[in-house]
Structure 1
Amino acid sequence: MDFRRLDAYFRRMVEEGLLPGALVLVARGGEVAFLGVYGYLDPGRGLPMREDAFFRLYSMTKPWVSALALTFVEEGTLSLRDPLEKYLPGFAALKVGREVGEEVVLEPLRRPVLVYDLLRHTAGFTYGVFFRSPVKRLYLEAGVDRFDLSREAFLSRLAALPLRFQPGEAFEYGLSTDVLGHLLEALAGKGLAELLEERVFRPLGMKDSGFVAQDPTRLAQPFPQDPETGRRIVLLPVEAPPPRYAGGMGGVGTAWDYLRFLEALRTGKGLLHPSLARLMTQDHLGPLYPEGLRRGLEYLPGPGYGFGLGVAVRLAGGMAPGHPGEFYWAGFGGTYFFVDPAAGLTALLLAQAPNLLAVLEPERALHSVYGDRMGLTFKTLVYGAL
């Protein structure tokens, strides 16, 4: 294996001021094949990146919570067919907001939101940020994307908003995993942080994972200003317990811990029964996949991918090398992983370099060096090294 091109790429990204710092970890058959440590842990203070750095994971928290939910399914205390309102009754009166021009016309639900919908993002919940629509505008006005809401405020505000699509009828990436995390809290009578510690982190030996960076001196920081937009970068505060445990964006962890989690999914050992690990990492969209692609850039998994229960799943083709059954996901803060079971391959890229264009100017997001472009380059260079 020859990782020189991969290594040179990230050194160049740092030298050109496009990345503050990064940590790259590649494993083959469970053995570390490559570790790259680049740039700065804190560019503002000139502190070098370190192997044990904490990173804000943003949406890479979602696979944690999805796997957590499947531990309850595995023991029979939760069903994928359970309706959301069984655990969170405040969502019993949900409506769908059909978008007619710039107007939102409320319609009744044809069926309830199911746990299954929350896991595969077919519940109809959206984000106010990332692209624009009349329903998304309502989300922005209600402030449900904010990190500083209490659990009660978040749930009450969200329950008063319309879904963007009928449950089960479209893939719509959004706040579903946040809702799923709070559903699990209601089911178990415990906080999400405690549930993850008991059922995911402790069994896998993930000592540096959670919702708080246990050692803030090891917390990776972004550039003060985004080199692409010139705008100030402000990331989630993870130095103290949050107002609520946001299962879709609030996690923090290290590369070594996240590798343990991904290896558990790849091998079906240590966390979920192999059959449940396979269930999580196989496609669950079916005919909704081509329909989603017709919506264009809003469909996040991209060409060649469907979506499983918390991760994107490769079906065929794609824009980078790989095999059917490969799964991946990423986080807004600059983190990315992919796992290719057919190749015995697990790869992680952790940085704190968000794609602000994805929020500020979604139409220009494809011109960013971050996001999908960096992920595709990373994946291509990893396969090229094998």
Structure 2
Amino acid sequence: MAGLEAVLRPYVDSGAIPGLVALVARGGEVEVVALGSQGTSGVPMRRDSIARGASITKPLMAALAMILVEDGRLDLDAPVDDLLPELAEPRVLRTPTSELDDTVAADRPITARHLLTSTSGHGFTTVDCPVVPLLIERLHQASMELDRVPAPDEWMRRLSGIPLIHQPGDGWTYNASYDVLGVLLARVAGQDLATLMAERLLDPLGMVDSGFRVPAGKRDRFTTLHGHDDRGDLTVSDEPDGSFAEPPAFASGAGGIVTTVDDMLAFGRMLLAGGGDLLSPESVVSMTTDHTTARQREMGGFFLDGQGWGYGGGVDTSAREPWNVVGRYGWVGGTGTSAYVVPRDGSVDVLLTQVELGGPDSNAVLEAFWTYAATA
């Protein structure tokens, strides 16, 4: 069996991926490779290079929510409109493809559980839905320019004018629920999300390089983000002194974290240890168990790719592809990141590439990494 470097090096040598850091850990055995450069600086990628995590933020948010549940400060099944009055009377599209003025009243209130399971009605769908352009234009959803997102109160005001795609609890839609969840948790705690996450999750786990900005003293380890032009060639999307140089107006619970492979290893080991000193085993089981129905998985389309969804991440429910392992939990990020735990063999698998998904080989490197992690 080829080693991890042999599997991943072709993607760097070909120029498809400027640089990456990958980690596969089983118990005390940890295999790490750092290949290529951090970006336009030419500085070699290293084990402690800091990357934009994008949607691998979501499992962290789920853990933070469960910490507040265990504190007795958050009730998963209580309506959220006492803290999020902007969502007190949501309108719902009659069908996911209805016109924006063809709406009905919500038949039940939105709860924190709806947010965790991505069933609140906010977010992206695989059908041609008129809500999606509003999410992009008004809320900057799916944008890598997080410094353009308005502050939470204004963000929620704008969200309140956008209909839900489906009735709360009925369907499954991607991403926006976790930004709503971030606002909810901050209001529950009475402090901003970045501070709350640092105090209750990141600092206790020793995730010293994770957060919603990169301070000047660590910017020499921060990577350049790349996208693709119309021809599929790499372009620079954001430099180390760009969007993450200052604290954001809106700390995105859906995709705003920066992190390292070792920080994500610490998070994964906490889950595999049944929550350690942070969470109860019951909370970890709730996070890593599939909560979707067949209809919701169908609505998830390529987002779920035939698998399930727990709290904050996907859950493999079948060995559909070579990399699927039943019970595997975690998620991918639009900046070319991936972080999973596999309870069956006690592994933590993390890949940070910093090339936006959707271009040539950007998905192939993830699949090669996942296959290696599942079969090595």
Provide the TM-score with structure 1 as the length reference: 0.88
Secondary structure at 2:25 match in 1? strand
CA distance in 1 between counterparts of 2:346 and 2:72 reads 30
- How big is the shift at 1:206? 1.1
Secondary structure at 1:355 match in 2? coil
CA distance in 1 between counterparts of 2:339 and 2:91 reads 35
- Equivalent position to 2:17, from 16, 19, 26: 19
- How big is the shift at 1:8? 1.5
Go from structure 1 to structure 2 and tell me whether the alpha carbon gap of 1:126 and 1:45 turns closer, same or farther (over 3 Å shift).
same
In structure 1, the residue matched to 2:189 is: 188
- How big is the shift at 1:156? 0.6
* Equivalence map 1:118-267=2 (5 Å): 118-127=115-124, 132-145=128-141, 147=146, 148=148, 149-214=150-215, 215-223=218-226, 229-230=232-233, 232-235=235-238, 237-267=243-273
CA distance in 2 between counterparts of 1:95 and 1:265 reads 37
Give the AA of the match of 1:344.
Answer: G
User: Per-residue CA shift, 1:26-51, capped at 9, x if unaligned?
Assistant: 1102x243111111111x23221011
Give the AA of the match of 2:108.
Answer: R
1:116 and 2:113 correspond: yes
For this pair of structures, how many residues does the alignment match? 364
Give the AA of the match of 2:23.
Answer: L
- Equivalent position to 1:376, from 345, 367, 373: 367
**Which stretch shifts more, 225-234 or 315-324?**
225-234
Give the AA of the match of 1:291.
Answer: R
In structure 1, the residue matched to 2:346 is: 344
CA distance in 1 between counterparts of 2:250 and 2:121 reads 22
CA distance in 2 between counterparts of 1:224 and 1:189 reads 37
In structure 2, the residue matched to 1:275 is: 282
> Structure 2 regions of 5+ residues with no counterpart?
none
- How big is the shift at 1:244? 1.4
Secondary structure at 1:85 match in 2? coil
8 Å contact kept, 2:117–2:309: yes
- How big is the shift at 1:322? 4.5
8 Å contact kept, 1:60–1:331: yes
CA distance in 2 between counterparts of 1:258 and 1:227 reads 33
* Equivalence map 1:315-326=2 (5 Å): 315-326=317-328
User: Per-residue CA shift, 1:71-119, capped at 9, x if unaligned?
Assistant: 0111222111021212111211211123475623111001011100100
8 Å contact kept, 1:263–1:346: yes
CA distance in 2 between counterparts of 1:293 and 1:65 reads 21
Secondary structure at 2:35 match in 1? strand
- Equivalent position to 1:291, from 286, 289, 295: 295
8 Å contact kept, 2:97–2:129: no
**Which stretch shifts more, 138-147 or 262-271?**
138-147
CA distance in 2 between counterparts of 1:376 and 1:99 reads 34
Secondary structure at 2:55 match in 1? helix
CA distance in 2 between counterparts of 1:183 and 1:293 reads 26
Go from structure 1 to structure 2 and tell me whether the alpha carbon gap of 1:276 and 1:294 turns closer, same or farther (over 3 Å shift).
closer
In structure 2, the residue matched to 1:311 is: 313
CA distance in 2 between counterparts of 1:40 and 1:320 reads 29
Give the AA of the match of 2:20.
Answer: A
In structure 1, the residue matched to 2:305 is: 302
CA distance in 1 between counterparts of 2:220 and 2:368 reads 30
1:10 and 2:13 correspond: no
In structure 1, the residue matched to 2:34 is: 37
Moved over 3 A (4+): 99-102, 222-228, 230-233, 292-296
Give the AA of the match of 1:234.
Answer: S
Give the AA of the match of 1:255.
Answer: V
Secondary structure at 1:328 match in 2? strand
CA distance in 2 between counterparts of 1:37 and 1:131 reads 38
- How big is the shift at 1:250? 0.9
8 Å contact kept, 2:96–2:127: no
Q: What is the RMSD computed on CA atoms of the aligned residues?
A: 2.2
User: Per-residue CA shift, 1:351-380, capped at 9, x if unaligned?
Assistant: 1011245xxxxxxxxxx4223x43332111
CA distance in 1 between counterparts of 2:2 and 2:282 reads 33
CA distance in 2 between counterparts of 1:74 and 1:49 reads 39
> Structure 1 regions of 5+ residues with no counterpart?
358-367
1:85 and 2:81 correspond: yes
Give the AA of the match of 1:22.
Answer: L
- How big is the shift at 1:226? 5.2
CA distance in 1 between counterparts of 2:228 and 2:248 reads 24
User: Per-residue CA shift, 1:185-213, capped at 9, x if unaligned?
Assistant: 11111111111111101111111111111
Go from structure 1 to structure 2 and tell me whether the alpha carbon gap of 1:134 and 1:246 turns closer, same or farther (over 3 Å shift).
same
